[in-house]
Amino acid sequence: MNRVALITGSSRGIGRGIAIALAGTGMDLVINFASNVEAARETADRCIAAGAAGGKTVRAEICLGDISSADDRAALLDFVRATYGRLDLLVNNAGITSIGRADVLDATEENFDRLMAVNLKGPYFLTQQASRWMIEQVQSAGADTEGAPASPEIVSRPKIITISSVSAYTVSVNRGDYCMAKAALGMMTKVYATRLAEYGIHVYEICPGVIASDMTSSVKEKYDQLIAEGLTPIARWGTPEDVGRAVVAIAGDLLPFSTGEVINVDGGFHLRRL
């Protein structure tokens, strides 16, 4: 039986890159999306092709759901359970940019509430629900948290990855809510990593830099110029595939003694330089 990953917001952009990369390793997938069903179907098709290219048969099912909604989050996990009966990896990827990108002195409470609901409350409570199920899985497999799992069904422990951003520690005065939500996701990762370690469930934060996607298409010229001027030691745009590879490294159990860890996928943006 293939291992199963749920990736929120994987119809486009970084989420799609993650889904395709995981499919290439032979994982079955749930592709969550907010509204763009055509894009979600295309991601699913590309995942199946990526699996086949690696000599593996994978399933990729799409599931509509707004992660800011408690009902939709519950329905999403119900869908994973009904479709596959297991969950080995949750990737909290779905997110929106600051609505209207207003200066912090002009930003509205309504837009703040919406962004926090999608970018922070959604991942926080989806992780809570997924964690409860993952604990059940570990316990029902009779696994010994100190040693090898007792059941060959669970070849590795479930994992949780959250996609934050360099905005977690970099100020943008026209995206205050976005920066604050991303900073909070860092603490969310630490809290869940601590709480879930006793079950052998490890939790990670991936911190992407400037990544080419629909989210950054409206500021492409600005970032083209900044990159040309030396914004990052690795002088290029990041891609969804770059983030996908980092997720594959975690999902492939290459970091067994690490949890609560931050993986920067940013071309070295985070390095302070003189």
Non-local (6+) Cβ contacts of 52 within 8 A are: none
Cα(207)–Cα(119) distance, rounded to whole angstroms?
14
Q: What residues are annotated to the active site? A: 178
Residues 13-52 that bind ligand NAP (CB under 6 A): 13-15, 32-36, 39
Cα(21)–Cα(96) distance, rounded to whole angstroms?
22
Query: Applying CB under 6 A, does 147 fall inside the site for ligand NAP?
Result: no
Size of the site for ligand NAP (CB under 6 A): 31
Residue with tokens 């080419």: 212
Give yes or no for a contact between 163 and 91, defined as CB atoms under 8 angstroms apart: yes
Nearer Cβ to ligand NAP (4/118): 118
What's the start-to-end Cα distance of the chain, in Å? 51
Binding mask 73-112 for ligand NAP (x = CB under 6 A): --------------------xxxx----------------
Nearer Cβ to ligand NAP (83/170): 170
DSSP 120: I
Cα(256)–Cα(229) distance, rounded to whole angstroms?
38
**3-class DSSP string for 150-174:** CCCCCCCCCEEEEECCHHHCCCCCC
Residues 176-205 that bind ligand NAP (CB under 6 A): none
Query: Applying CB under 6 A, does 165 fall inside the site for ligand NAP?
Result: yes
Binding mask 113-142 for ligand NAP (x = CB under 6 A): -----x------------------------
Cα(98)–Cα(58) distance, rounded to whole angstroms?
35
Cα(217)–Cα(201) distance, rounded to whole angstroms?
36
Residue 58 beta carbon to ligand NAP: minimum distance, rounded to whole angstroms = 19
Instruction: Figure out which of the listed residues 210, 246, 250, 251 binds ligand NAP, where binding follows CB under 6 A.
Output: 210
Q: How far is CA 80 from the centre of its chain?
A: 16
Instruction: Figure out which of the listed residues 61, 66, 241, 261 binds ligand NAP, where binding follows CB under 6 A.
Output: 66
Nearer Cβ to ligand NAP (142/169): 169
Cα(86)–Cα(66) distance, rounded to whole angstroms?
21
Residue 53 beta carbon to ligand NAP: minimum distance, rounded to whole angstroms = 23
Residue 35 beta carbon to ligand NAP: minimum distance, rounded to whole angstroms = 4
Q: Which residues bind ligand NAP (CB under 6 A)?
A: 8-15, 32-36, 39, 66-68, 93-96, 118, 163, 165, 208, 210-211, 213-216
